[in-house]
Amino acid sequence: KNEVEQSPQNLTAQEGEFITINCSYSVGISALHWLQQHPGGGIVSLFMLSSGKKKHGRLIATINIQEKHSSLHITASHPRDSAVYICAVREKDSNYQLIWGAGTKLIIKP
């Protein structure tokens, strides 16, 4: 079993829809990251969370430490949001490396 599981693996939606991507993890963590990777490879850090909720524009990230679960929400989705969204956790008291989810490929159709 992977230590970081994301769902769904693939998601296709229409422009304007509310999007939710989930991340569950099985280890104790000091932080959780949500990242976005566009075709071509570049990765952009969206959020780093250790508790609660963060919002940036149309993106919202939440984390429930007790349930070991985080969600990334996109409101009023747009075709330019099409990308792979990756959840990564930094295990508590670990050797500093990030443990990565497999990613969720999101396609937003106009």
Partner 1 sequence: KAGVTQTPRYLIKTRGQQVTLSCSPISGHRSVSWYQQTPGQGLQFLFEYFSETQRNKGNFPGRFSGRQFSNSRSEMNVSTLELGDSALYLCASSRGSYTEAFFGQGTRLTVV
Interface ranges with partner 1 (CB under 8 A): 30-31, 33, 35, 40-45, 48, 86, 88, 90, 95-98, 100, 102-103
Of 29 and 108, nearer to partner 1 (C-beta) is 29
Of 81 and 101, nearer to partner 1 (C-beta) is 101
Query: Least separation, in Å, of the C-beta of 78 and partner 1?
Result: 22
Backbone angles phi, psi at 47, to 5 degrees: -145, 150
Query: Least separation, in Å, of the C-beta of 10 and partner 1?
Result: 14
In contact, 103 and 40? CB cutoff 8 Å: no
Of 57 and 110, nearer to partner 1 (C-beta) is 57
**CA atoms of 25 and 107, how far apart (whole Å):** 24
The label of the residue with tokens 């349930």 reads 67
**CA atoms of 64 and 69, how far apart (whole Å):** 5
Cα four-point dihedral sign 93, 67, 59, 86? positive
Query: Least separation, in Å, of the C-beta of 17 and partner 1?
Result: 26
